[in-house]
Structure 1
Amino acid sequence: MKLTILGGGGFRVPLVYGALLGDRGEGRVTEVVLHDLDAGRLAAVTRVLAEQAAPVADAPAVTATTDLDDALRGADFVFSAIRVGGLQGRADDERVALAEGVLGQETVGAGGIAYGLRTVPVAVDIARRVARLAPDAWVINFTNPAGLVTEAMSRHLGDRVIGICDSPVGLGRRIARVLGANPKEAWIDYVGLNHLGWVRGLRVAGRDELPRLLADPDLLGSFEEGKLFGVDWLRSLGAIPNEYLHYYYFNREAVRSYQQAERTRGTFLRDQQAGFYEQVERSDGSALELWDRTRAEREATYMAENRETAGAGERDADDLSGGYEKVALALMRAIARDERTTLILNVRNRTTLSVLDSEAVIEVPCLVDANGAHPVAVDPLPGHATGLVCAVKAVEREVLAAAESGSRTTAAKAFALHPLVDSVNVARRLVEGYTAVHPGLAYLR
């Protein structure tokens, strides 16, 4: 089975390959094609993967190419993890937004809109190519903003594109762990959009254990989200929000923390990863060991500004690992082998949430089999969550409309409608600021 990884020179590709190395089942991936526009990054990642594969008999063969059509042709699965504009683009997203006093995070608020505006046209082109060159392939999208990009691609690929994210997985795992439950045996009642969802229940053997957690302040304050949001706020919500909702619930504090930081997250990652690729290129030492050290630092500093604002301290050691690669592998297994499973995924709504239309991509538990991912029925969202979900989905739709039409006016509307952008004039200045620094937004007229 052939897996094509778009963004194959990306720093986290070894996580995906590492998961593949542990899969010895029938119908496993035997061929991996890495595609990237940067040949130097491809060479560095290929070295890391070669070291990973060295002790593993019959490891999946790896090839690399800068030709997108060659990479897609004949693929059974396409894993998309591209970053349009690179990490310099992410740093610019943050800088332009913070200059206007609004959030520049890569998936939330102004930064997420800017990232979406330059990513959607590229993602749509990829979707069209997949439909033409590999019509039977399944696309697993990890490209951010994941829900928005998945919805853009679904207009050309239908249900054969499925978005994944590690945030709900990590959240469910933490809740189960603190309750003394096995995450593999727990049903996570999670619903929302990507980076905008809530755990409303965690059922073990048919019993919802979340009320027990919410009733115990010591237990509730003992894990990441309890420290991040505070016990009182979680109890008032009656649910555990995705960590990215910290940007909404504590927006002023988050913006101030980002403004006061010595370096933004994007700038940190840009510099850190540039150093990694440079060292791999000029060193004959172990690329895998260097990657491991760099990854550990990256994970430890994740959402550091938010934790500092909340006084949450350092991340727990158990949280310093990824998870999206395990979701991707489980998804591929379920489809390729008809190994039925349940995963929290980004899929088209159908009739799951009545407040959204059938084509809207949402993030919910799905039953997965050889025919793809099928969202399960969920209870309606409470009013406060419904308002946020509908507002952000409306913004995503304006981003899609702007990307299709090239309208600057529509792009400004997308910014202005976002709950974290507080002025139409700020929205217009954001469009001006972003088009000035991003060549990928030159299509906006």
Structure 2
Amino acid sequence: MKLIHTADWHLGQSFHGQERHAEHRAFLTWLLDTLVARRADALLVAGDIFDVVNPSLRAQELLYDFIVSAHERLPRLDIVLIAGNHDSGNRIELPAPLMRRLRTHALGRVNWLDDGTLDAERLLVPLTDTAGETRAWCLALPFLRPAEVTGSARASHDAEDKAPNDYVAGISRVHRQLVEAARHRREPGQALVAMSHAHLHGAAVSEASERPIVIGGEESISAALFPPEIAYVAMGHLHRAQQVGEPRIRYSGSPLPLDFSEVSYPHQVMEVTLDGEALGDTQAIPVPRPVAMHRIGPGPLDRVLAELEALEDDPALERERWPWLEVRVELEAPIPDLRARVETALKDKSLRLLRLERRLPRVEEDAAAARVDLQALGPRRLFERTWASRWGEPPGEEVLADFDRLRQEVLDADDGDDSAREARP
């Protein structure tokens, strides 16, 4: 049977204040055509479907229109969605009963039985071929938040739990219990396919656009959690497409660049062919880029202006397809009218300037410390600089871990409020 693995759509992303609905719509149209052309049996979406826990109505409309269209064109297609750390698990699961009628399975949370063991059955999704025969089982594991996997009711600190902290130990237990349940559920000839949204040891991170899942590096898990009997592991969270250790363990990567730092990444979906219980083949399918991205510089202003003048222009493009542009200028001294000069070079060009970065000489670092670009710096580095300025030394690992935990609690606050509202009558 044939699967398409994708992840990290981030529908509804605001890109430096600009909407990207046209790009996401173009990608989903291409993906649907690809599913039809490749005669796929299943589509796996490994988390971060939306960019925020409370996505806009337009972002949700993109997802649900895609699901309906996919069912109309491929009535036997199985779709499996899991929540990522950017998603609200409750929101992902809310329309699940309706989506099941469209052969779409949405998993946003893990549940626990009265005896403290994982309710693994709801996370095992049968994948069928065109004849309706179950050829594989998808172990669909949504992003696991600390509150879901830690605590005495859900933790038995046995000898197998050799993880560096309770959170990673909890994730490991969930994986082991789900794999064990899949072993009992499968029948001879049926493959096992795992889908998870997590950070694996040794995988390459895109620092500029990926939110640390919980505690910057300590939350990463071992690929050894996926035993060899699992034919393919479809990972989400990291935006750079990559293999982790073995050909069967892969991040598909994001289908679109989510930051200018990702312009040079290969953006793709993975076609996975299963041969009985084993992995037959994998093939990367490049995703066409509906809107171009240009990075100019860093360099001296004269050179940057010359590069801007040389940029090709297509006046026939609709405005929503105009390329995104980042300009980085190295300065020897402040230039008050820098933006005006850059915009003059872009006059009458079908380009959208999203970011203008001024790079000052190193000798001015101390003087410029109070005038940082918060968007480029990021919360963690800003905290480190503030701490060092106040105490005369960088923060230790424990302090940084506490900061990351507090930051994640703030990021998850909207998700928690959403859960509380849904619990009220």
TM-score (normalised: structure 2): 0.34
Larger Rg: 2
- Higher strand proportion (structure 1 or 2): 2
TM-score (normalised: structure 1): 0.33
